């Protein structure tokens, strides 16, 4: 049962619920939170938005976030949820080598939800769009028994070829644009009750919790990799092994990961020791880091901000330090997360 | 509680549930239903799709459909739901004067749902995209307690200016692209138990039920109106009065509807008599017909397939046969539907 009055970390700026305000009142209140977007020709508030696509192509991706599965209101503020929903969707645009341009959102909410919560969520989406230099082009709201967000991001390739999952060749260098496993570690700390969502406590642990609640992808890493000649690229949303597995299958190659090279694994040590967990499991199968993984034709092509972690090879499959990975890869929404069973 | 085994009119082609298949198995099965789209540069199956937008702009709209609010599985087959979800979203593209090009969908479903149901839903979306000459560019699936669809349609203005809600001027002629009130009448027949979802019974009543379950918008009506010089346009999704009210507010005009001219109202007579309802209420406040309403600078400009129903005037508000409408207009997702209180 939804209890909007008990939602923590939510600034109550209006006493009313979304049912008090009504659909059109709520839409107007949300629109008042949106800055005018310079990419919009016609923005939110009509049947559809018109977004510039000067390239003659548009990149588009869609994502769902469901309360209890992708976020918890006792862990995430409305702003956190807005940031995360926008970030995971905009990162998919970057993973094609494109610049995010616009975001559309669908918001299913119960009528007794506080209007202030919805406006704080909107501000989170607006803030993350600002980081990505995108704007909110439109949305839809509906009543529902629980909260669900549907996000669609659009992007511009600015003349570049899209970088798919299917271009890696044997011999290519595999690199990632940022640390992996931090979101999974943050989630584990919250699940164990070791850390509170407010992030009070040791700074290194608080950073992991923040990485889970409020991911801040480097959107420029995608277009940078495309310009540098990346042959394949993916957003690490389901876990490094699983997502590199997608590149391996789509490209028809094997991929060997050198585990000692995984960036950011040292910051997982304290949390892993505290919880009696293998930090490598977080780095390999933890989802939602929203760093990018890509293949490059040679080491010299890898941008300075990226970290080389392995190599593509002939054959198929994922290898850890030359041993074939036989475990499950990461997160499957209809199954339990895969366990560490490296072979 | 979801009972996939009791879903009527659903062809069970596979005994398995989506949980049996797993997220990636289900994605692969859905992808196998998608025809290759000639507008796709990169289609479903990567982080994002790349869609042609030769115009240099892209039209984008998003919609939510939630089980129990927008559809019922005992009334609608999976195919019906796929058709309706696609149709209502693609109609928003036409309402800007654009041609639909692509559809992205988010699908939240319980793990015990039959895979066959999801594939039938997909076929419904594919069929309606085919009618609109659009293709399915991507999607996301997630487990959830109940079924929710999030649709995002993209479209191409092919060089035309977008027709917003905000361009109508006093003296403009108001017209609609098709009959109104049929979906509301069909819904009332289902709610009263007079008609079954299978539509057996008198043909005129069955047509109303079909209009509710499986709307078939004329997507070409939007670009046609734009070419003809339409000054404002909207998809009639919430009810004629409410949607013309949006044009009136956005354009700063009043709109006078001549009720005798509403197209298709005669086909509502039998159902209205049977249910003791005012057929005009359905035509004025019933939603989901997905005909378009538009303003044209003169009667000669109105395309032959459109029907003139009134005129824009100075001032504000909606008038029925010169009397100001003071009732609620149609459907509000957080309030009850408006009642007939024309004044």
User: Quick check: B150 and A47 CB within 8 A?
Assistant: no
Mean pLDDT over each residue of chain A, to the nearest integer: 89
> What superfamily does domain A4-156 belong to in CATH?
PurM-like, N-terminal domain (3.30.1330.10)
CA atoms within 13 A on the CB side of B262: 27
Which neighbouring-strand residues pair with A37? none
Contacts of residue B208, defined as CB under 8 A and 6 or more positions apart, other chains included, come to B182, B183, B185, B186, B189, B195, B267, B268, B271
User: Per-residue confidence of chain B (343 residues) as pLDDT tens digits?
Assistant: 222 333 333 444 454 899 888 888 888 889 889 887 656 777 777 899 999 999 999 999 999 999 999 999 999 999 999 999 999 999 999 999 999 999 999 999 999 999 999 999 999 999 999 999 999 999 999 999 999 999 999 999 999 999 999 999 999 999 999 999 999 999 999 999 989 888 678 888 999 999 999 999 999 999 999 999 999 999 999 899 999 999 999 999 999 999 999 999 999 999 999 999 999 999 999 988 999 999 999 999 999 999 999 999 999 999 999 999 987 765 555 553 332 222 2
| Contact criterion met (CB < 8 Å) for B51 and A60 | yes
CA B214 to chain CA centroid, Å, is 9
Contacts with A69 from chain B: Cβ below 8 Å: 142-144
Report CB contact under 8 Å: A162, B61: no
How far is it, in rounded angstroms, from Cα B291 to Cα B302? 15
Which part of chain A has CATH 3.30.1330.10?
Answer: 4-156
Rg (CA), chain A: 20
Contact A51 B60 (CB under 8 A): yes
Please say whether the beta carbons of A49 and A137 come within 8 A.
yes
For CATH 3.90.650.10, the residue range(s) in chain A are: 173-324
- Per-residue pLDDT at A304: 97
Burial of A297 (0-12, 13-18, 19+ CB in 10 A): middle
Task: From chain B, pick out residues whose CB is under 8 angstroms from the CB of A70.
Answer: 142
CB distance from A2 to chain B under 8 Å?
no
Of B81, B179, B87, which Cα lies nearest the Cα of B130? B87
User: Distance, in angstroms, between B301 CA and closest chain A CA?
Assistant: 22
Coil, helix or strand for A173? strand
Q: Show Cβ contacts of residue B317 under 8 Å, excluding neighbours closer than 6 positions.
A: B245, B248, B254, B255, B324, B325
**List of chain B residues whose C-beta atoms are within 8 Å of the C-beta of residue A93:** 47-48
How many residues belong to chain B? 343
Cβ of B162 within 8 Å of Cβ of A57? The answer is no
ipTM of the complex: 0.89
Give B200 to chain A, closest Cα distance, Å. 32
Asked whether the beta carbons of residue A332 and residue B152 sit closer than 8 angstroms, the reply is no
Alpha-carbon distance A21 to nearest alpha carbon in chain B (angstroms): 8
CB B164 within 8 A of CB B294: no
Q: Which residues of A touch B105 (CB under 8 A)?
A: 62
Q: Which residues of A touch B164 (CB under 8 A)?
A: 42, 46
For chain A, give the number of residues: 343
* Domain at B16-156: CATH code: 3.30.1330.10
C-alpha closest to that of B66 among A64, A131, A328: A64
Write down the pLDDT at residue B35. Answer: 84
Examine the pLDDT at A41 and tell me if it is beyond 90. Answer: no
Give the integer Cα–Cα distance in Å for A114 and A166. Answer: 45
Q: Which chain A residue is nearest to residue B39, measuring alpha carbons?
A: A57
Q: Dihedral, CA atoms, A304, A310, A316, A322, nearest 10 degrees?
A: 180
Shortest distance, CA A136 to any CA of chain B (angstroms): 11
Q: Which residues, numbered 291 to 320 in chain A, qualify as contacts with chain B under a Cβ-Cβ cut-off of 8 Å?
A: none
For the stretch A131-155, pLDDT in tens is: 999 999 999 999 999 999 999 999 9
**Contacts A26 to B, Cβ<8 Å:** 334
What CATH number should be reported for the domain whose range is A173-324? 3.90.650.10
Q: Are B183 and B215 in contact (CB under 8 A)?
A: yes
Compute φ and ψ for B61, nearest 5 degrees: -145, 150
Q: Which of A318, A310, A285, A321 lies closest to A175, judged by CA? A: A310
Restricting to A residues 126-165, those with a Cβ less than 8 Å away from any Cβ of B are 137-146, 148, 150, 152-155, 157, 162, 164-165
| Model confidence, pTM | 0.90
Distance between CA atoms of A138 and B65, rounded to whole angstroms?
A: 16
């Amino acid at each position: 049962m939804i209890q909007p009055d008990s939602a923590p970390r939510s600034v109550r700026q209006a006493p009313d619920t979304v049912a008090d305000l009504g659909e059109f009142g709520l839409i107007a209140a949300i629109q008042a939170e949106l800055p005018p977007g310079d990419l919009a020709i016609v923005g939110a508030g009509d049947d559809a938005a018109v977004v510039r696509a000067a390239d003659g192509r548009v990149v588009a991706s869609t994502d769902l976030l469901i309360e209890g599965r992708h976020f918890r209101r006792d862990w995430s503020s409305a702003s956190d949820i807005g940031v995360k929903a926008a970030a995971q969707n905009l990162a998919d645009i970057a993973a094609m080598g494109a610049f995010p341009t616009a975001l559309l959102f669908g918001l299913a909410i119960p009528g007794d939800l506080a209007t202030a919560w919805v406006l704080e969520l909107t501000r989170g989406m607006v803030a993350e769009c600002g980081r990505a230099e995108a704007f909110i082009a439109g949305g839809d709201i509906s009543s529902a028994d629980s909260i669900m967000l549907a996000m669609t991001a659009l992007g511009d390739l600015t003349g570049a070829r899209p970088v798919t999952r299917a271009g890696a060749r044997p011999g290519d260098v595999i690199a990632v644009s940022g640390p992996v496993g931090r979101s999974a570690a943050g989630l584990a700390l919250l699940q164990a009750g070791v850390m509170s969502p407010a992030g009070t406590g040791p700074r290194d642990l608080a950073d992991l919790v923040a990485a889970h609640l409020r991911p801040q992808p480097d959107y420029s890493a995608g277009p940078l990799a495309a310009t540098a000649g990346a042959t394949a690229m993916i957003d690490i949303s389901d876990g490094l092994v699983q997502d590199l597995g997608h590149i391996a299958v789509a490209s028809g190659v094997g991929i060997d990961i050198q585990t000692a090279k995984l960036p950011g694994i040292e910051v997982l040590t304290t949390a892993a020791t505290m919880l009696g967990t293998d930090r490598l499991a977080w780095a390999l199968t933890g989802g939602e880091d929203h760093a990018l993984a890509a293949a490059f034709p040679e080491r010299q092509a890898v941008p300075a901000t990226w970290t080389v972690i392995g190599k593509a090879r002939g054959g198929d499959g994922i290898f850890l330090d030359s041993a074939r990975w036989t475990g499950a890869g990461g997160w499957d929404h209809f199954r339990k997360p895969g366990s560490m069973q490296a072979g």
